[in-house]
């Protein structure tokens, strides 16, 4: 018997937002252990970019037209790519383990791409 999907009432109902929020929380935990000299550097940049992913998914959810929704999802995708680089940099600088965050980011990326395609295909 096929599962019936219900429309999301809030951005919090979106699996892609939930995964993005999980990523944000993990970034905050990781960057909390960065050296003090990174407080206004990499730590701040990484936190802002990760928050931007979840925030733009949320903001896009509230937009009425598919084009507006897609624009905010595209911004989220850009922030996701920014975070992808920050994870590489974090690893290369030896600031902490990034494998788990990279896996969460990859899953978020897949979900975000699928959500954006669905929005554009459905016209809603």
What's residue 5's pLDDT? 56
Q: Tell me the mean pLDDT in the region 52-58.
A: 98
Q: What is the dihedral of CA 34, 36, 39, 41, to 10 degrees?
A: -80
- Which domains are delineated in the chain? 12-122 (1.20.1440.60)
What's residue 4's pLDDT? 45
Nearest to 84 by CA among 48, 28, 123, 46: 46
- Among 14-18, 28-32, 101-105, 118-122, the range scoring the smallest mean pLDDT is 118-122
Tens of pLDDT, residue by residue over 28-41, are 999 999 999 998 99
What's residue 3's pLDDT? 42
Average pLDDT of the residues of the chain: 93
What's residue 46's pLDDT? 98
Are 92 and 50 contacting, i.e. CB atoms less than 8 angstroms apart? Answer: no
3-state SS, residue 121: helix
pTM of the prediction?
0.91
Tens of pLDDT, residue by residue over 73-104, are 999 999 999 999 999 999 999 999 999 999 99
């Amino acid at each position: 018997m096929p599962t019936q999907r219900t429309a999301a009432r809030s951005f919090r109902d979106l699996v892609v937002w939930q995964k993005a929020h999980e990523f944000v929380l993990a970034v905050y935990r990781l960057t909390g252990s960065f050296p003090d000299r990174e407080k206004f550097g990499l730590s701040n940049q990484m936190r802002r970019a990760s928050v931007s992913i979840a925030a733009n998914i949320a903001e896009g959810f509230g937009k009425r037209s598919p084009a507006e929704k897609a624009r905010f999802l595209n911004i989220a995708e850009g922030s996701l790519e920014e975070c992808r680089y920050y994870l590489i940099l974090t690893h290369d600088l030896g600031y902490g383990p990034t494998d788990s965050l990279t896996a969460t980011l990859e899953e978020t990326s897949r979900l975000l791409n699928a959500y954006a395609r669905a929005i554009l295909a459905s016209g809603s």
